[in-house]
Chain A
Amino acid sequence: MADFGERRNLLGDEDEDEDSFADRQAARGPGRLMAAICDPSRLLHRVVVLFFMCFLGFGSYFCYDNPAALQSQVIQDLNLNTETFMQLYAWYSWPNVVLCFFGGFLLDRVFGIRMGTIIFSLFVCVGQVIFAAGALVNRFWLMEAGRFVFGIGGESLAVAQNTYAVNWFKGKELNLVFGLQLSMARLGSTVNMNIMGWVYNQVALAVGSSGHTALGGSLMIAAATCVFSLICALVLAFLDKRAEKILNKEQGKTGEVIKLTDVKDFPSTLWLIFIICVGYYVAIFPFIGLGQIFFIEKFNFSPTQARAVNSIVYIISAPASPVLGFLVDKTGRNVVWVMIAVIATLAAHIMLAFTFWNPWIAMSLLGVSYSLLACALWPMVAFVVPEHQLGTAYGFMQSIQNLGLAVISITAGAILDSRGYLVLEVFFCACICIALMSVVMLYFVDYIKGGDLNRSAAARAKLLKESTTDAEVRRKPSQVVQSERARLAPMSAFGLRNRYLSRLGAQLPYHCSTHLSSLAHRSVLK
């Protein structure tokens, strides 16, 4: 059932389109028709733009997991221990502790979406080149600096990518677009895991011996993907500017409003969601970072097999995320899904730690539960926080997620150096158990408070129907004023929510994304 407000927006857009169509006719003059591929309002052109949009993030995801794909080579060629190796991941996360709050602001107010995308792509490219140069001259501090610069660009580039998507595609297409962007991102990670080893061997053959020169050479080759992403950013900027001129629409905005003072208003359920987020993700990403040698040593895998099984998490999450997102939407009951995902991840880690069962089973389970958690956890933030605080809530969640990742990456490396893999796995199990405790408490706190989070989709839709019939009656007279205010107000809830969901791979079917406006009229629900 479509939300009244969003129906209104679409109608507004259609009106806009009709106006601009008339303008376009006038501007073009008589008889000048563009080919479908050059016409920004036609689907074929937008498919071309979609192609560039998807590859915008490819380089960043490809290069993020370069250290994991080349773990033994990095450690051996540069004489590191595991703790120092994990610094490469920590330095990626440190700038994002702060930058999560400012990404939207920079893109909207300071640079604009086009310039901002190019600048962040440039950061990604330059960061990877510095990282590779550090390996070539055998200076580890330079590699850490390169990862830091890379981190500045990486996360903010994802924000820019989503803003482009929301700007160019509307309605039902948006789900497909986000799905494709996510798949491209996962494709980048998977390709990295599986071919970097081969690239290193070829470079070592060409250089003559393996060592930091071969490592630097392979990383420079990986930087080529970042250059490709930079070219996509430039092309996108050109196409967007051209479309702006032709269609007379304004530059896209993230619409994000961050107010740090809102933190004191966060409800306790939100803090529990934060703890779940941190406790869960610190047991996934550092584990994948250290996974290759674990599979080689414990399960006697060959390096190629170990890299393949390490990348299965990403391979599974590409198709699983849209499917699971659809499932979570259809059934609701987010807290139960989160609990299932956390328990499944705990089972996977226990299997890897305490048994010799084929790790493909455990890693596939990990991939599915990781996708499930993303689809169920992130939308919950939108259920507990009012619209105007959503930007701050998401920014805060990502900030502490990055902080947790930075700290736990180093801790995991230190534990491995001194105590080995079993204790490391037990540590990850402990982190997941913290998340599990938070989920259990979330379930009970939510139950006591009335059960907003764990409602089934049918119950939510019913509540919404009741709220909108009342709202419709109340809203009609003030429609004119409201539409003006809508233009000045931040971007619609729909776009804002979809931005964050897409980053984590959750999909929200169009007709079910209506609960936010019901939250704006909380008094009707209670």
Chain B
Amino acid sequence: MAAAAKGRGVGVRVFLVVFVFISCQSLIDGRNTYKRKLTVQLIHNPTSPPFGSDLLHVRAEGVNDTLHYLFYNQGAPTLLLVHTDSSSSTVKVNWTQFLDRNTSGGLTVEPQSSILYSSAVVFSRLWEYDDVNDTAEASDDFFPPYELQDFSWANVSLSGLTALVCGTAPNTMNGSLCLKLSAFDSEGRDESWPRLLHSANSSQLEVWLNGLLPRGNHSRFMLELQAVSGAYPLSRVDVRQSIDDEYTPSIFKIFQWVSSMNGSSDVLGFVQWKPVAYRKSHPVLEDATPCRHSDPRPQRGEETAASSVLIRAFYSDPEIMGLNVSFGLAGEPFYNSTMFLSWTMLVGVGSPPVDSFSPLVLTIMVVCLGTPLILLLLGGVFVFLYKKRKASTLGYEPVN
């Protein structure tokens, strides 16, 4: 009787676990299998191709909309994102106007009326400061900044859906700043830290500094970002706190630089990142270094347009907001400990993707909390039956 009761208990438990697991899987996988068709091409000037300049165009075609990602490897590195509501929109380049850094309009997306949203992120400067007192407060000990538009950039190397471009600083032998753009056709998660969750409406940019000789003994770096967005500029940085750090151990926050209509909370476009940078290319938990950002502030549009070819070509009168991302806090090791620093961000349209628990965590919690309850229930039933049986065998029957 006891064995049968226990066997029934085990069977019920297994069924419950399997049922919960399957329902969780369908809940998680079935949410957004929206896929886009991606085509990657390098556009060159047909008349006289200047060697070394590549215009990368990634076209992500959906059912009735298209996302265009554009990247040019001359000038300050810029990622331009254009969202159109037609699945047959194209990018047109007027090369003479495009290469002339003083006139705008060289880059257009046809049909112009189909443009829903556009935004661009520019990496304008790399600041370095000597943190003698180890406070990570960047005050006035800045070295002259590296202007990224003056770097000599190599050709874009494509591999599948990722594009890699590296540049070296002027007057330096070794040491490079590299950018890797990854486009995605569906929802997924990157394999390497910080394992940002991406959707089909976003692409990931990884920036890393490798081997650049620091100019001070206690150098820390700061990256200056500038962004422009169609009608509404990227005006504020939201922070989202999460209890879940299983994809980026010990990081519980995620920051989103969003552009939204005045007064509304609908997000038109975003730049998303986690406040962590890594000091090795294949990092372990101890190689993580926290990073901070400053508040977005308006910048001079003319200056940005002068440094970035794509901004000049696409926007006529851009409204630029800029912020600084500084790497390292007080007490953290300096740049010269590993001579490597990498940081990842996600750029996209619409609302940023939201993280959720992995099936593993959910399963463990359900099993762990459910089993004692089931045991309690079964035990109670079993004891009740046992007592009843004992009472019935021990009691004497009346004689008459």
Say whether A440 faces chain B, with CB atoms less than 8 Å apart. yes
Q: Are the C-beta atoms of B249 and A433 separated by less than 8 Å?
A: no
Residues of A within 8 A of B245 (CB): 297-298, 420-422
Q: Are the C-beta atoms of B286 and A297 separated by less than 8 Å?
A: no
Say whether A32 faces chain B, with CB atoms less than 8 Å apart. no
Q: Are the C-beta atoms of B386 and A354 separated by less than 8 Å?
A: no
Q: Mark A351-362, 1 if CB is under 8 A from B, else 0.
A: 001111000000
Residue from B249, B371, B379 in contact with A444 in the complex, judged by beta carbons closer than 8 Å = B379
A353-B243, A421-B249, A422-B245 given; A429·B372 CB < 8 A: no
Question: How far apart are A187's CB and chain B's nearest CB, in angstroms?
Answer: 29
Say whether A436 faces chain B, with CB atoms less than 8 Å apart. yes
Residues of B within 8 A of A429 (CB): 365, 368-369
Residue from A80, A417, A423 in contact with B361 in the complex, judged by beta carbons closer than 8 Å = A423
Question: How far apart are A352's CB and chain B's nearest CB, in angstroms?
Answer: 10
Q: Are the C-beta atoms of A297 and B251 separated by less than 8 Å?
A: yes
Q: Mark B371-390, 1 if CB is under 8 A from A, else 0.
A: 11001100100110010000
Q: Are the C-beta atoms of B246 and A422 separated by less than 8 Å?
A: yes
Residue from A418, A436, A444 in contact with B383 in the complex, judged by beta carbons closer than 8 Å = A444
Q: Are the C-beta atoms of B383 and A433 separated by less than 8 Å?
A: no
Question: How far apart are B138's CB and chain A's nearest CB, in angstroms?
Answer: 21
Q: Are the C-beta atoms of A419 and B243 separated by less than 8 Å?
A: no
**What is the CA–CA distance of A444 and B365 in the complex, to the nearest angstrom?**
24
Residue from A298, A426, A437, A444 in contact with B364 in the complex, judged by beta carbons closer than 8 Å = A426
Say whether B252 faces chain A, with CB atoms less than 8 Å apart. yes
Residue from B250, B284, B364, B386 in contact with A421 in the complex, judged by beta carbons closer than 8 Å = B250
Q: Mark B172-199, 1 if CB is under 8 A from A, else 0.
A: 0000000000000000000000000000
Residues of A within 8 A of B386 (CB): 448
Q: Are the C-beta atoms of B379 and A416 separated by less than 8 Å?
A: no
Q: Are the C-beta atoms of A417 and B368 separated by less than 8 Å?
A: no
Residue from A81, A293, A355, A427 in contact with B250 in the complex, judged by beta carbons closer than 8 Å = A293
Residue from A356, A436, A440 in contact with B243 in the complex, judged by beta carbons closer than 8 Å = A356
Say whether A198 faces chain B, with CB atoms less than 8 Å apart. no
Residues of B within 8 A of A416 (CB): 249, 285
Q: Are the C-beta atoms of A80 and B372 separated by less than 8 Å?
A: no
Residues of B within 8 A of A353 (CB): 243
Main secondary structure of the interface of B (DSSP, over half): helix
Residue from B333, B361, B368, B369 in contact with A422 in the complex, judged by beta carbons closer than 8 Å = B361
Q: Are the C-beta atoms of B371 and A437 separated by less than 8 Å?
A: yes
Residues B229-250 near A (CB distance < 8 A): 241, 243-250
Interface size on A, residues (CB 8 A): 34
Residue from B243, B247, B364, B379 in contact with A441 in the complex, judged by beta carbons closer than 8 Å = B379
Residue from B241, B286, B333, B371 in contact with A356 in the complex, judged by beta carbons closer than 8 Å = B241
Residue from A81, A443, A448 in contact with B286 in the complex, judged by beta carbons closer than 8 Å = A81
A355-B243, A437-B375 given; A81·B249 CB < 8 A: no
A423-B361, A429-B368, A433-B369 given; A440·B376 CB < 8 A: yes
**What is the CA–CA distance of A293 and B251 in the complex, to the nearest angstrom?**
11
Say whether A161 faces chain B, with CB atoms less than 8 Å apart. no
Say whether A268 faces chain B, with CB atoms less than 8 Å apart. no
Q: Are the C-beta atoms of A354 and B243 separated by less than 8 Å?
A: yes
Say whether A76 faces chain B, with CB atoms less than 8 Å apart. yes
Q: Are the C-beta atoms of B371 and A419 separated by less than 8 Å?
A: no
**What is the CA–CA distance of A133 and B74 in the complex, to the nearest angstrom?**
55
Question: How far apart are B268's CB and chain A's nearest CB, in angstroms?
Answer: 29
**What is the CA–CA distance of A418 and B372 in the complex, to the nearest angstrom?**
28
In the complex, which residue of chain B has the Cβ closest to the Cβ of A437?
B372
Residues of B within 8 A of A76 (CB): 286, 333
Q: Mark A295-319, 1 if CB is under 8 A from B, else 0.
A: 0011000000000000000000000
Residues of A within 8 A of B333 (CB): 76
**What is the CA–CA distance of A360 and B325 in the complex, to the nearest angstrom?**
33
Question: How far apart are B29's CB and chain A's nearest CB, in angstroms?
Answer: 20
**What is the CA–CA distance of A436 and B264 in the complex, to the nearest angstrom?**
49
Say whether A75 faces chain B, with CB atoms less than 8 Å apart. yes
Q: Are the C-beta atoms of A420 and B250 separated by less than 8 Å?
A: yes
Q: Mark A431-461, 1 if CB is under 8 A from B, else 0.
A: 0010011001101100110000000000000
Residues A75-97 near B (CB distance < 8 A): 75-76, 79-82
A416-B285, A433-B369 given; A441·B375 CB < 8 A: yes
Residues of B within 8 A of A293 (CB): 250
**What is the CA–CA distance of A88 and B12 in the complex, to the nearest angstrom?**
43
A297-B251, A353-B243, A420-B250 given; A440·B379 CB < 8 A: yes
**What is the CA–CA distance of A417 and B286 in the complex, to the nearest angstrom?**
8
Q: Are the C-beta atoms of B368 and A297 separated by less than 8 Å?
A: no
**What is the CA–CA distance of A157 and B170 in the complex, to the nearest angstrom?**
66
**What is the CA–CA distance of A49 and B98 in the complex, to the nearest angstrom?**
91
Q: Are the C-beta atoms of B249 and A418 separated by less than 8 Å?
A: yes
**What is the CA–CA distance of A354 and B284 in the complex, to the nearest angstrom?**
25
Question: How far apart are B253's CB and chain A's nearest CB, in angstroms?
Answer: 9
Residue from B246, B248, B375 in contact with A440 in the complex, judged by beta carbons closer than 8 Å = B375
**What is the CA–CA distance of A182 and B333 in the complex, to the nearest angstrom?**
40
**What is the CA–CA distance of A433 and B371 in the complex, to the nearest angstrom?**
8
Question: How far apart are A21's CB and chain B's nearest CB, in angstroms?
Answer: 58
Say whether A430 faces chain B, with CB atoms less than 8 Å apart. yes
Residue from A81, A297, A355, A427 in contact with B284 in the complex, judged by beta carbons closer than 8 Å = A81
Residues of A within 8 A of B382 (CB): 444
In the complex, which residue of chain A has the Cβ closest to the Cβ of B380?
A444
Question: How far apart are A63's CB and chain B's nearest CB, in angstroms?
Answer: 24
Q: Are the C-beta atoms of A297 and B250 separated by less than 8 Å?
A: yes
Q: Are the C-beta atoms of A420 and B383 separated by less than 8 Å?
A: no
Residue from A419, A427, A447 in contact with B249 in the complex, judged by beta carbons closer than 8 Å = A419
Q: Are the C-beta atoms of A440 and B361 separated by less than 8 Å?
A: no
Residues of A within 8 A of B369 (CB): 429, 433
A423-B361, A448-B383 given; A417·B246 CB < 8 A: no
Show 6 residue pairs from A and B whose CB-CB distance is below 8 angstroms, ordered by the A residue: A356-B243, A420-B249, A422-B246, A440-B375, A441-B375, A444-B383
11 further A-B contacts with Cβ under 8 Å, apart from A297-B245, A440-B376, are A81-B285, A297-B252, A417-B284, A419-B246, A422-B245, A426-B368, A433-B369, A437-B371, A440-B372, A440-B379, A444-B379
7 nearest CB pairs, A to B: A420-B249, A420-B245, A433-B368, A444-B379, A297-B250, A436-B372, A430-B368
